[in-house]
Amino acid sequence: MNARNNSKNKRVVVLDTETTGINKKGGAPCYGHRIIEIGAIEIINRKLTGRYFHVYIKPNCVIQPESIEVHGITNAFLSDKPEYHDIHEEFLEFIKNSELVAHNAPFDISFIDHEFLMLNKKIGKIIDYCEVTDTLEMAKKMPKMPTRKNLNSLAKHYALDISTRTFHGALLDAKILAGVYLAMTGGQSNLQLTSGLRNSCNEKWLQNNTANKQKKLKILYATTDEIKTHKTRLDAMKKTGACLWGSSGRDKA
């Protein structure tokens, strides 16, 4: 960890991408594949700030059918979207000087580095602008984790609600990963991660889950179902050693 990440206002950007190819089917930059969607959410001092970056990108190459089955994004949908060079400056400004968190980070980073290289060799690589954290590698080193360590498995392990998730989507998966990351590092996250947000940006959700709202808080008491969900979450966190408190007698509903 560097000095930036030890500061009180630690800035984390949770990122996910969708691409024209799947990794196991020649879906790497060296096969000519490109990024078609980027989603990133900002966390400062372990709180969502409401700032996010989300864009669809026209790749100028054919999307593999296997990839469309995963994310549902077609070339026709992307035909009027910007190309990477159109969004590069805004994207780089959003992610630089952060801890960039991604699941199976080498996959996402290799695609981003490839876009950097194609645009201008002098741009460098992601590591020149960010510290990269791979939650997949984190999960491999943690005890009592599920055998499968994909994003779905980890979300279920931490009792995060992803029931409305159908297709993969960069912003949606970044949101889910933000919850997983906070749980893995011992923090709290929204239990209903996919509520109100599917494969596109839902600004209302982000506005309602920010750290800088200044409204007077209304006290809402937990329902019986919410208490049960909370207890399940604590029990899951205790198995990994991430939970610093136990269930009280009031949690037994």
Q: In what order do the strands lie in the sheet with 47-56?
A: 47-56, 35-44, 11-19, 99-102, 131-134
Q: Is 40 exposed, middle or buried (0-12, 13-18, 19+ CB in 10 A)?
A: buried
Two tokens at 173? 């998966």
**Count, residues in the chain:** 253
3-state secondary structure 74-136: CHHHHCCCCCHHHHHHHHHHHHCCCEEEECCHHHHHHHHHHHHHHHCHHHCCHHHCCEEEEHH
Is 235 annotated to bind ligand?
A: no
Would the annotation count 16 as a binding residue? yes
Q: Please enumerate in sequence order all residues whose Cβ is within 8 A of that of 1, keeping only pairs 6 or more positions apart, or say none.
A: 131
Annotated active-site positions, please? 168
Does the annotation place 226 within a ligand binding site? no
**Which residues are part of a known binding site?**
16, 18, 66, 71, 173
**Which residues are part of a known binding site for a divalent metal cation?**
16, 18, 173
**Which residues are part of a known binding site for substrate?**
16, 18, 66, 71, 173
